[in-house]
Structure 1
């Protein structure tokens, strides 16, 4: 695996310590993180990942360091795509903003455990079966093709069999109680919807592990590098969500960029498999003379694709329209989540933000308004927020 057991033990200890610190310092006491708080902690975790990469370069050499940064950047990009699904799940279950930190931390921890398991399974496949790289390449190419054909299926995450089963067989409440898993109704303890949200996030995390791990093994065969890059990118994911969740719906071209990245790594894996081939029915079991794509070139390609697709998304008129709709939906949910003890200034600030987003939606060209998904649901949500505001003022 390239490093000693002592280094593995120290790395795991530090990662567990970071996760515990994240929980004790931020998640244990439910609150909505400010933009400044999210930015500071996102910068901290990204800075730690960069410092770790510098340490890899110093101790392990330039090649190992380039592999680490390529894996970290790729996993960070794929994790942003994971945030899209988190956003859908939180929206489907209407999770209160104040409870989202605990849900997301749980999702991140499940993702880390699932991907760690897949890393070791993948490493075992590579060491035992000669055809593993062909399999990984095929998985990446198929996933890339699916990303190029966006569907509405992500919006139906809550309809998964496991969710329906949980609703049927578990005693659950329809109401949240801040970030608690249990509440009391009619004198009996019942589960809040938080558990169902966590089950949904766990299911999506397992699906995302299937494409992220083959992609990382396409950039490095060093299990320690793949694991550390995965862990450090995931640990900063919760803070990153609160930093960019207002922009997620604006990154309309990011899925296409990720498709190109996965396709590129898939082709790289296929070329690597052919270059080292010993499968009997391929070229009589002899290596195939093909081009070799270096990890350094891969890092450059990944960086350029992410920069181009992000810039194109932020400059897109369709992206700005989608962004306005997403923010209006978010501010409506935020207003409906406010309780009677909320500071009046905070209540008016949230409501004024909602009004500003509604004005932006009304100002959209007809072709963009016609593309708004679930228009009836959005209209009903905004009307509920207005009725709640009127009722509060009358009270």
Structure 2
């Protein structure tokens, strides 16, 4: 183990800075291995095996630092705070959100520039990032339809209703008018978003159904003429070259003739990514409404004028930062950048309508 460390200068023993760094690495590897074990405990089948494999790899890295530290390996600490938080999230919640955070954590690995790590360890960390990325992609695919509707619904509710109530309020109308306008915007927007999501997702599923191979057609495979195999035409129509289609058709016919079941086409994943039409509609309605109610909270509690405007903008700003950060984490992008972008877009739209409201209010006066 020790002999495989790369580019390390020869000396009689490690210095204090090296020992401190090795102990930190050891603590981090222990914590990261625990994250994967916690995630594996919440899964079954192939995903569980993959996560346990990652945990085993972290154990090998842990042993490398133990070998270098020797007696100094006792009680190395609890690992970085972000890794401990990730472990708590994995133990408590699991899910794609934790996988996305783990993906981001793996991308920050520093073994490539550390002289005391091995080339294999640096390569492992890179591959770990890709493994976690693939696992996270599975989770995103399973939740993408409903999650997309929820996130877009919440953000649309926040931005559109904030812009609406600020624009109307800037004209100088009373607090009651602003509140009624906000409630009307909430209901109209939520219904519109729900109906739109239902039509969109339902149309996507109908397009998939129209493009999905007929499962009944597979029942006729054993009766096909092997010498004039029209199954090859099916594969050519799906985009295979002539040679690929002929070879694949011959393979399928041989399997069917031997009594082996012909696997069904892999279209289930597409349906998972699109999601349920009713689920998307309900999710969009509820999240739009939950987002749209935040800008009108100040008027609901009886505030008016500048105080209501400032509080509404502040509440929506916090909500936009949270939703932007969540989308950033799940998409693998920097959370802070996505949060600030979301805030800038929301405040930009609200500022425009507020300025227009001031203009119309002055013109009316």
With normalisation by structure 1, the TM-score equals 0.27
Report the structure number with the largest CA radius of gyration: 2
